[in-house]
Amino acid sequence: KLDAYYLKIALLHTHQELKKSFDTCVEVLIQLGETIPATVDREVFVKRAENVLAKLNVMTENDMKTMKSPFHVSLLRFYDRACFTSYFVQLPMMKWLACRMVEISLEHGFSKYSALGLMWFTMILAGDLIYDVHAGYRVGKIALKLLKRFDANNLLPNAYLVYYSFTAVHIEPLQSCADMLKRGFEIGLSIGDTQVALLNGVHYIQKCFLSGTNLSILKKECDYQMRLIETYFQSTTKMYVLALQETISMLITREVLSNSTLLDQSKELEFSQAIIFHNVIQNFWLGRWERCLYYAKRSSAPSGK
């Protein structure tokens, strides 16, 4: 029965019913005995996350005993899916869920899904709530070793996506992170996990863009990934690749595209940090200084996330 629920949640996500996918995940977790809050108090959560980090800091790999309970392994599997979906629809809740994943692992032992929980937790450590990027980097390395211990190569695309997109970039060169994201893209496609593969692909292009890769090469990469997105109906990533395509084309031609979708964006996209980022880049290179400054201020404004 749990496998059927998991498949349903994954299908809902694939068909862009993200809120419904997340709500179903939460319902399952509640049925499994978990208490999921409707909102997260920032100060209370920071103390909780710092307490979890303190416990991780005194642990060695030998202290991370293998989880024996199939129930808790399954529980973490649903928590991981909830983290994945909440990133798109309710980011503050993702942080709470990630912290809970690590708490369960500290209490009941570690599994391959614990490694993903640690990866999600690195986003908290590298984010504005705690901002201890070195701790996040170290925890991520431990998570990668756990995946190796459990021979969980099928979860590497998930781990690479989180770690090299959001945490390792603070420590490692951008191009090194791009190479690992490309690896996540390739592994994901090879095992049939096109959803995670293409998300790795988006971040691969983004890191290449930021590291100064030739724009013509990146344009070809965008075109290739867009064909894959259309083939596999992965609309979650389509918006991001379209944004990259548009920005890259504008930088190549130095002209506003006649079919521009970002500079006159819809309200739905207006508050997306990814779209704001592209608006900053586009307006800067087009010489629209006031609009560039406007979007830059919005990008740095506190969001509660």
**Contact partners, residue 201, CB within 8 Å, separation at least 6:** 181, 182, 185, 225, 228, 237, 241
> Does the pTM of the predicted model rise above 0.75?
yes
**pLDDT over threshold 90, residue 255:** no
**pLDDT over threshold 50, residue 268:** no
User: In the predicted model, what is the mean pLDDT of the chain?
Assistant: 90
Reported as a single tens digit per residue, the pLDDT across 112-162 is 999 999 999 999 999 888 889 999 999 999 999 999 999 999 999 999 999
**Contact partners, residue 220, CB within 8 Å, separation at least 6:** none
Q: How confident is the model at residue 260 (pLDDT cuts 50, 70, 90)?
A: low
DSSP code, position 190 = H
Helices 70-89 and 112-126: angle between axes, nearest 10 degrees: 40
66 residue type, one letter: T
Mean pLDDT value of segment 183-203: 96
Question: In whole angstroms, how far apart are CA 106 and each of 99, 174, 215, 217, 272?
Answer: 11, 32, 45, 45, 34
What distance in Å separates the CA atoms of residue 236 and residue 199, rounded to the nearest whole number? 8
Residue 111 near residue 66 (C-beta atoms within 8 A): yes
**Contact partners, residue 183, CB within 8 Å, separation at least 6:** 156, 160
Residue 52 near residue 104 (C-beta atoms within 8 A): no
Reported as a single tens digit per residue, the pLDDT across 162-179 is 999 999 999 999 999 999
Q: Which residue has the tokens 């109906």?
A: 233
Percentage of the chain lying above the pLDDT 90 cut: 70
What is the structure's pLDDT at 270? 37
Backbone angles phi, psi at 140, to 5 degrees: -65, -40
What is the structure's pLDDT at 130? 87
Q: How confident is the model at residue 271 (pLDDT cuts 50, 70, 90)?
A: very low
What is the structure's pLDDT at 257? 64
What distance in Å separates the CA atoms of residue 85 and residue 248, rounded to the nearest whole number? 28
Q: Any idea which of 98-102, 224-228, 253-257 has the lowest mean pLDDT?
A: 253-257
**Contact partners, residue 66, CB within 8 Å, separation at least 6:** 109, 110, 111
Distance, CA of 242 to chain centre: 18
Task: Of 2-16, 118-132, 179-193, give the range with the top mean pLDDT.
Answer: 179-193
What is the structure's pLDDT at 222? 96
Q: Where are the alpha helices (DSSP H) in 150-213?
A: 156-162, 174-191, 194-210
- 13 or 173: which leads in pLDDT: 173
Mean pLDDT value of segment 43-59: 95
Distance, CA of 34 to chain centre: 23
